[in-house]
Amino acid sequence: MRAYDIILKKRNGEVLEKEELEYMINGCVNGTIPDYQTAAFLMAVYFKHLTRQETYYLTEIMRYSGDTIDLSQISGITVDKHSTGGVGDKTTLVLGPMVAACGAKVAKLSGRGLGHTGGTIDKLESIPGFKTNIDMTRWIEQVNTIGFAIAGQTANLVPGDKKIYALRDVTATVDEPSLIASSIMSKKLAGGADAFVLDVKVGSGAFMPDVDSAKELAKIMVDIAKKAGKEAVAILTNMDEPLGNKIGNALEVIEAVDTLKGNGPDDFTNLCITLGKYMLKMALSMDLKEAEKRLEESISSGKAYEKFLEFVQAQNGDIDYVVNPTRMLTNDGVYEMKAEQDSYLCKINTQKVGIAANLLGAGRESKDDKIDYSVGFDFLKKPGDLLKKDDKIVKIYYNDEIRLEESISTLKKAIRCGKKENVEKNQLIFDIIG
Ligand code: URA
């Protein structure tokens, strides 16, 4: 077999055999195929796509390219949830404790920030002492005792995706549905859970900008899960504005704690309840109405908040920072961006908000950068809100004046104000697949 012939075959729009995909991925991981040939292969896939069967083969090849996790020691059905990536998306921090407080087992593998999107592992690490590199035996034990554990990906979990993803990132081949689906599902399947809730983001802050392309991605992922003998439901959700009000690692933990105490923003709380009820349906065969009621009770009774404290303590986090979360905000200053005239907040370009947060230091510019956990944004207004001149739109938590200036300039381009008829506001949930 030769990489050249496989690239040519895909470039000509032909369907590849499993062995040919195996040859490309294994060669890419072990270095026998040079990056320029893998990059050419990815570009051929970008233009000619993969069939559902090819996508499934690619997923399985990447799934078994390194270690896989065996969750058979966890009693009951384990559920995992994955978001395709967004801005202000702190869902796991609330969803995990809520669902676990209702009796389900959540074994969650999470990632760090990627591009303009944030990552759960970074958010949790803003709690002093919190450990995400726990070994698998302890992880499984914690799911059995507390019902909820989060671990970061180990070095040898799905190395095939790690290598391919890094190449896609620099060859403009990220946003091909078959490549996104196989990347996400290879990691989910290697993580070993029985059922998955997939939060497929749609809009300016997501990889899929419109409902049709997001639906296509959702169908491919659900199809892969089915072929692998697992259950999955994909929920298409709005990422055309930041989720909730707060963006930035410590700020998002603070908003998650507020939400667990029943004081969260409506959009974020509703999304957690929607995703959570499908997790309960799959884990405990619970009727959706009953699941919704139980999730709401987990908040009003304080049980979800208590579960979060238990979870943070189990993973070495200092719970005093959860009890008094503003202790995490060790900023030099807070800048308030105000409305220049009477108007409506028409639209927030969410990708630009993510970039502006990274400019402040909330994300990494290169892979070894240190994150500044305490910086970020607190939006006091959302699209559709009426603004009076000098009303505060967003508070910017910063530590460095130069970074602040760069961030303000990007943020100004992200926020559009104007007449009421120009307001762009989307529904929270677009569709449910599977
Ligand atoms: N998240 C992933 O893990 N992979 C992708 O390709 C896109 C989002």
Please say whether the beta carbons of 268 and 95 come within 8 A.
no
* pTM reported for the whole predicted model: 0.92
| 59 belongs to a structural domain | no
Ligand 1 mean position to 311 CA, how many Å? 26
Residue 80 bears catalytic tag:
no
| For ligand 1, atom 7: residue with the closest CA | 180
The single-letter code of the amino acid at 113 is G
| 71 belongs to a structural domain | no
Which pLDDT score, from 0 to 100, does residue 107 have? 86
Q: Which tokens sit at 272? A: 């957690």
| 208 belongs to a structural domain | yes
From 288, 323, 358, give the residue that closes a domain.
Answer: 323
Q: Are residues 351 and 313 in the same domain?
A: no
pLDDT band at 133 (very low <50, low <70, confident <90, very high): confident
Q: Is the dihedral of CA 26, 29, 30, 34 positive or negative?
A: positive
Q: Are residues 117 and 11 in the same domain?
A: no
Give the CATH number, domain containing residue 25: 1.20.970.10
Residue to mutate (ligand 1; options 92, 174, 185; most atoms within 8 A of CB): 174
| For ligand 1, atom 5: residue with the closest CA | 180
Q: Are residues 231 and 351 in the same domain?
A: no
| 30 belongs to a structural domain | yes
Residue 370: pLDDT above 90? Answer: no
Domain count, the chain: 3
Ligand 1 mean position to 183 CA, how many Å? 6
User: Radius of gyration (Cα) for the chain, nearest Å?
Assistant: 22
Taking CA atoms, 195 is separated from 82, 98, 233, 276, 287, in Å, by: 11, 17, 8, 13, 16
Atom of ligand 1 nearest to the CA of 184: 3
| pLDDT (mean) for 146-155 | 85
| 352 belongs to a structural domain | yes
Q: Which tokens sit at 412? A: 């100004």
With H, G, I as helix, E, B as strand and everything else as coil, classify residue 78. strand
The single-letter code of the amino acid at 322 is V
Q: Are residues 310 and 335 in the same domain?
A: no
| For ligand 1, atom 8: residue with the closest CA | 84
Q: Are residues 316 and 385 in the same domain?
A: no
Q: Is the dihedral of CA 183, 180, 267, 391 positive or negative?
A: positive
d(CA 223, CA 53): 10
Q: Are residues 191 and 254 in the same domain?
A: yes
Give the CATH number, domain containing residue 280: 3.40.1030.10
DSSP state of 395: E
Considering the chain, what is the average pLDDT of its residues? 94
| pLDDT (mean) for 267-271 | 96
Ligand 1 mean position to 235 CA, how many Å? 16
Q: Are residues 264 and 405 in the same domain?
A: no
Ligand 1 mean position to 302 CA, how many Å? 34
From 286, 304, 323, give the residue that closes a domain.
Answer: 323
177 pocket-lining for ligand 1 (C-beta < 6 Å): no
Strand partners, 82: 198
| 375 belongs to a structural domain | yes
Residue 154: pLDDT above 80? Answer: no
Which pLDDT score, from 0 to 100, does residue 344 have? 97
Which pLDDT score, from 0 to 100, does residue 367 have? 64
84 pocket-lining for ligand 1 (C-beta < 6 Å): yes
Residue 155: pLDDT above 70? Answer: no
Residue 425 bears catalytic tag:
no
Helix ranges (DSSP H) in 174-287: 177-190, 211-227, 249-260, 266-284
Give the CATH number, domain containing residue 378: 3.90.1170.30
Residue 33: pLDDT above 70? Answer: yes
Q: Are residues 33 and 148 in the same domain?
A: no
Q: Which of 41-55, 69-83, 350-364 is the most confident on average? A: 41-55
| 66 belongs to a structural domain | no
State percent of the chain over pLDDT 70.
99
Please compute, for residue 322, the number of CA atoms within 13 A of its CA located in the half-sphere on the CB side. Answer: 26
| pLDDT (mean) for 191-202 | 95
186 pocket-lining for ligand 1 (C-beta < 6 Å): no
Q: Are residues 279 and 338 in the same domain?
A: no
d(CA 380, CA 397): 13
Which pLDDT score, from 0 to 100, does residue 152 have? 83
Q: Are residues 96 and 183 in the same domain?
A: yes
| For ligand 1, atom 2: residue with the closest CA | 184
Residue 258 bears catalytic tag:
no
| 430 belongs to a structural domain | no
| pLDDT (mean) for 122-132 | 94
Which pLDDT score, from 0 to 100, does residue 303 have? 98
206 pocket-lining for ligand 1 (C-beta < 6 Å): no
From 323, 347, 374, give the residue that closes a domain.
Answer: 323
Ligand 1 mean position to 41 CA, how many Å? 18
Q: Are residues 115 and 228 in the same domain?
A: yes
Count of Cβ atoms closer than 10 Å to residue 207 Cβ: 23
Taking CA atoms, 226 is separated from 213, 223, 406, in Å, by: 20, 5, 46
Which pLDDT score, from 0 to 100, does residue 93 have? 97
Please say whether the beta carbons of 194 and 70 come within 8 A.
no
Which pLDDT score, from 0 to 100, does residue 329 have? 94
Strand partners, 387: 343
Q: Are residues 367 and 319 in the same domain?
A: no
Buried b (16+ CB within 10 A) or exposed e, 271-307: bbbbbbbbbbbbbbebeeeebbebbbebbeeebbbeb
Which domain covers residue 137, as residue numbers? 78-323
pLDDT one-digit tens code per residue, 224-261? 999 999 999 999 999 999 999 999 999 999 999 999 99
Q: Of 10, 123, 187, 215, which residue is the catalytic one? A: 187
Which helix H or strand E contains 355, and what residues bound it? helix 350-360
The single-letter code of the amino acid at 98 is M
**Which candidate, 186, 216, 247, places its Cα nearest to that of 29?**
186
